[in-house]
Amino acid sequence: MSVVAQPGGRAASAPLMGHETEPTLFEMSVANRSAYQLRTTEVPATPLSDLVPAAHLNPEIVPVAEVSERDLVAHFTRLSHRQFSVDLGMYPLGSCTMKYNPKFCDAIAGDPGLNAVHPGAPASLSQGWLEIMVTLEEKLCAVTGMSAATLQPAAGAAGELTGLLLMRAYHEANGDHRRRVLIPDSAHGTNPASVTLGGYEVTTVPSNDRGLVDLEALKSALGPDVAGIMLTNPNTVGLFEEEITEIAKAVHDVGGLLYYDGANLNAILGAVRPGDMGFDIVHMNLHKTFATPHGGGGPGAGPVAVAARLVDFLPGPRATRVGDGYFNWVTPVRSIGRVHGWHGNALVLARALAYIDVHGGDGLTRVAQHAVLNANWLRHRLREILPAAYDRVCMHECTLTATPLKNKYGIRGLDVAKALLEEGFHSPTVYFPLIVDEALMFEPTETESVQTLEALAQAIERIAQRAKDDPASLHRAPQSTPVSRVDEARAARHLIATADAVR
C-alpha cells in the first residue's frame, strides 16, 4: 500500500495560499476507512436489486474514496483556503456587486421550516412559503416602482431572457411583429445574448464622450420595428444616464418598451425607481443587491418585475394573495409559461426578504449612499495612478484606466489586477466595459470600510512603484497564489477542471 503524506500539520499562522499540491480524495483513500458507521440494526437490509430494476443497475463496482471524516473535513477546508472569497477580504469586481452578505440571512435559509418544504407541496400545506413569496414580490415592486413580478428566473441572465419573452408576448398580443432591440455599446455581454435568444436582432447604440448613451444616435436608430431597449442605469461604466426620461420618451413614442438590467440596482435603492424613470420591465439580481453571495457557483435569483400592461403575461404559477390571509398558486391569463422547474431558487428569495426587512426603507437607502460614496472615494484617491475613464462623479462603481501605466512602463490593466492578488485583494473587473482602453472597474460596495479602501489604494501605490522599478516582476505576477500567471486565452479554450490541472 502506498502511503500519501497529508499536509495536515500546517501551522495555524501559515499563509492561506501556497503552492503545495492538495492530494485528491482518491489519493488519500485507504481501503475500508469510512467517514462514519451506522449502528447495525435488526431491520434486514433490502438488497439493491429489489429496489432498482436490473436494467438500471451498473454491474461494475464504481470506486469511491474511503477516507475518515477528519481527513475529509481537513481536505475541503484546505481547498477552501486556496480560494479568495467575499468572506476573506475585499472583492471589488465591478458590475458584479460582490459584497459581504450578513450571516443572519444564511441562518434564515438554513431553517428547516423553510428548506425542508418540498416545492410540490400543495398550497394548503405551504402557506408560509407562499406568504414569503407574495411579500417579497410586493417589496421588490415597491423598490422598483413596478406592478407585479415573477420570482422564477434563476439569475440575471435568466431574467433577461424572461423579460425579452415578455416583451415579445406583449407586442405579439397587440398584433405587432417587431424585429430589433437596441443595446448600448457598453452593455454586459448577456444583454445581446438574451436578445438573440429571445428571437430579436441587436442594434448597437454608441456611447458619447461622457460615457452615456448618445441620444441623437439612439433617436436615429429608432423605428416602428424596434421592440424595445435594454439599459442599466447607472450604466455599465458606473455613470447615471442623465437623459433617461428623454430616452424613455423616444422609445415609447415608437411603441417600444424599456428593459432595465438591474445588475446595478445597489446604486439607486431608495433614491430613484426604474418605474419612475420610464422602464417597463426590470430584472433584479438578488444575488448582488439582496444578500446572497454572488459567485462561487451557488444559486442566484433574477426576479422580473413589470409595469401594469405586462402583468398578464408573467410566468406562472405565481404565489398570489387570493383571500383574507390565504395564498394560492395562480397562473396569469396570458402567461408565457414557466421559466423554472419550480418556483425559483426559493432560499435566495427568503434571504432577500430577510435582508430587505432588517434594513427597512432607510437602511436600503443607506446601502446605496455608502456604495456610491465608497466608489467616489476610491476614484478620487487613485486619480494620479489610475485615472477615471470619464472624469465625473460616478455611482456605485468607478471605471478607471491603466493606460498611463501602459504608456510609461508597459504595465497593462491585467498586470495590475494580477499583482493585486499578491497584495491580498481580489482583482477588479478588467477590460470591461469594452469601450474603455485598459479598463479596471472597481466596485467597492457599501460593505467596505474607509480603512480597507485606504489599504487597497496603498496596495495600488506599491504596484505603481513596482511598475517603475521592476516592471518584469509585474508581468509574472501573481507568484504567491496556488496558481500563478496562466495563459488566459489557452486556459479559457482548453479548460482542465480536474486534479491533473495542477500537476
Q: Which residues contribute to the site for ligand PLP (CB under 6 A)? A: 95-96, 155-157, 188, 190, 232, 236, 261, 263, 285, 300, 302
Sequence-separated contacts (24+) of 171-177 with Cβ below 8 Å? 171/227, 171/257, 173/313, 173/334, 176/255
Strands of the 281-284 sheet, one edge to the other: 148-150, 304-306, 281-284, 257-262, 226-231, 180-184, 201-205
Nearer to ligand PLP, 260 or 327 (CB): 260
For the CB of residue 192, give the shortest distance to ligand PLP in the complex, in Å: 11
CB of 92 to ligand PLP, least distance (A): 14
Q: How far is the CB of 56 from ligand PLP (least distance, A)?
A: 35
**Rounded Cα distance, 335 and 327, in Å:** 19
Residues 172-200: b if buried by 16+ CB within 10 A, e if exposed: eeeeeebebbbbbebbbebbbebbeebeb
Q: How far is the CB of 94 from ligand PLP (least distance, A)?
A: 8
For ligand PLP, the closer of residues 443 and 448 by Cβ is: 443
Residue 229's H or E segment, with its range, is strand 226-231
Residue nearest to ligand PLP (CB): 156
Q: Distance between CA atoms of 362 and 105, rounded to whole angstroms?
A: 19
CB of 162 to ligand PLP, least distance (A): 12
Amino acid at 389: A
Q: Which is nearer to ligand PLP, 155 or 213 (CB)?
A: 155
Three-state DSSP state, 441: strand
Q: Which three cell numbers stand for residue 113?
A: 421550516
Nearer to ligand PLP, 228 or 302 (CB): 302
Residue with Cβ nearer ligand PLP (285 or 445): 285
Minimum separation from the CB atom of position 194 to ligand PLP (A): 9
Contact 306, 334 (CB under 8 A): no
CA 269 to mean position of chain CA atoms: 17
Task: State the nearest-atom distance from the C-beta of 349 to ligand PLP, in Å.
Answer: 14
Phi, psi of 23 (to 5 degrees): -65, 155
**Which residue, 95 or 162, is less far from ligand PLP as judged by CB?**
95
Nearest CB to ligand PLP, comparing residues 190 and 399? 190
